[in-house]
């Protein structure tokens, strides 16, 4: 799976949803002026923008393992400290932040419990750790229609429903295994509008994440079959896609 892609590709694929998901996740974490906050797995910077609006650039730190995403986040937010590192090995001292957030990241961590434990380590005592993951198991993710079509064409298509945190209650399990306390889980919902089917489909051809990898691995005939099945499953344009994510917060 690849996130070593141009920031613009991510923006067109998942960025439209990430921008809308950022405010409710920041609300869940209780991010407010006077805090120092960390964005783990920041991507090109959707959540960074929301955090900066709340606490100011000097109080936001961000980290991501993807070199293109780090470069884009630094260019878009030059006054924010953006570092390149994995969630499982954060380059910060203990108790450095009032809150640490991971938006649409836990399911891509090599070791989710280790990543969340690291987020707790760098968060002060009684500070907040919060994270969100699309409800991929419940069929409420932006990618759910795509994976439904992909599995119809290729029953062996893995999809993302089994990823960490992608089912109800699993984020809570991961948070508690990572040592977080008073864990609460909820659902966050956003809606994105599309004027045409091609506007929806084209981002899947850009090689972003597991879905992009799947499309890239198809021959022309199967790619066309998946594309047309997606067209059949979606409403006639213009249409909205409503997507929900599981989100959890806990105390360090």
Q: CB neighbours (10 Å) of residue 103?
A: 26
Show me where the domains of the chain are located: 7-141+159-191+243-251
Q: Is 203 helix (H, G, I), strand (E, B) or coil?
A: helix
Determine the Cα–Cα distance for residues 238 and 235; give it in Å rounded to an integer: 8
Two tokens, residue 50: 């929301």
Third-level CATH fold of 7-141+159-191+243-251: Rossmann fold (3.40.50)
**44 with 241: CB under 8 angstroms?**
no
Compute the CA torsion angle 214, 194, 192, 72 (nearest 10 deg).
60
What ranges make up the beta strands (E) of 107-238?
A: 123-134, 181-194
**130 with 25: CB under 8 angstroms?**
yes
**81 with 70: CB under 8 angstroms?**
no
**156 with 217: CB under 8 angstroms?**
no
Q: CB neighbours (10 Å) of residue 179?
A: 14
Give pTM, 2 decimals.
0.96
Tally the residues of the chain.
Answer: 252
**13 with 208: CB under 8 angstroms?**
yes
User: Which string of b and e fits 64-98 if b means at least 16 CB within 10 Å?
Assistant: bbbebbbbbbbeebeebebbeebbbebebeeebbb
Q: How far is CA 133 from the centre of its chain?
A: 6
Full pLDDT tens readout for the chain, 252 residues: 457 678 888 999 999 999 999 999 999 999 999 999 999 999 999 999 999 999 999 999 999 999 999 999 999 999 999 999 999 999 999 999 999 999 999 999 999 999 999 999 999 999 999 999 999 999 999 999 999 999 999 998 989 999 999 999 999 999 999 999 999 999 999 999 999 999 999 999 999 999 999 999 999 999 999 999 999 999 999 999 999 999 999 999
């Amino acid at each position: 799976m690849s996130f070593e892609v141009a920031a613009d590709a991510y923006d067109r694929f998942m960025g439209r949803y990430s921008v809308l998901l950022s405010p409710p996740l920041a609300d869940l974490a209780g991010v407010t002026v006077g805090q120092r906050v960390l964005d783990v797995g920041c991507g090109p910077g959707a959540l960074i923008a929301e955090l900066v609006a709340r606490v100011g650039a000097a109080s936001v730190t961000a980290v991501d393992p993807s070199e293109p995403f780090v470069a884009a986040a630094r260019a878009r937010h030059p006054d924010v400290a953006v570092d390149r590192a994995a969630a499982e090995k954060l380059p910060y001292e203990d108790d450095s932040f009032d809150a640490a957030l991971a938006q649409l990241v836990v399911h891509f961590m090599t070791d989710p419990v280790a990543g969340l434990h690291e987020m707790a380590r760098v968060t002060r005592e009684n500070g907040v750790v919060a994270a969100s993951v699309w409800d991929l198991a419940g069929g409420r993710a932006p990618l759910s229609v795509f994976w439904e079509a992909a599995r119809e064409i290729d029953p062996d298509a893995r999809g993302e429903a089994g990823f960490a945190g992608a089912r109800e209650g699993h984020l809570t399990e991961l948070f508690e295994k990572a040592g977080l306390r008073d864990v609460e889980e909820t659902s966050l919902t956003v809606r994105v509008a599309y004027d045409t089917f091609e506007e929806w489909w084209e981002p899947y051809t850009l090689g972003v994440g597991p879905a992009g990898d799947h499309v890239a691995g198809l021959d022309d005939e199967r790619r066309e079959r998946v594309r047309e099945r997606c067209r059949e499953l979606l409403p006639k344009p213009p249409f909205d896609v409503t997507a929900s994510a599981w989100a959890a917060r806990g105390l360090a």
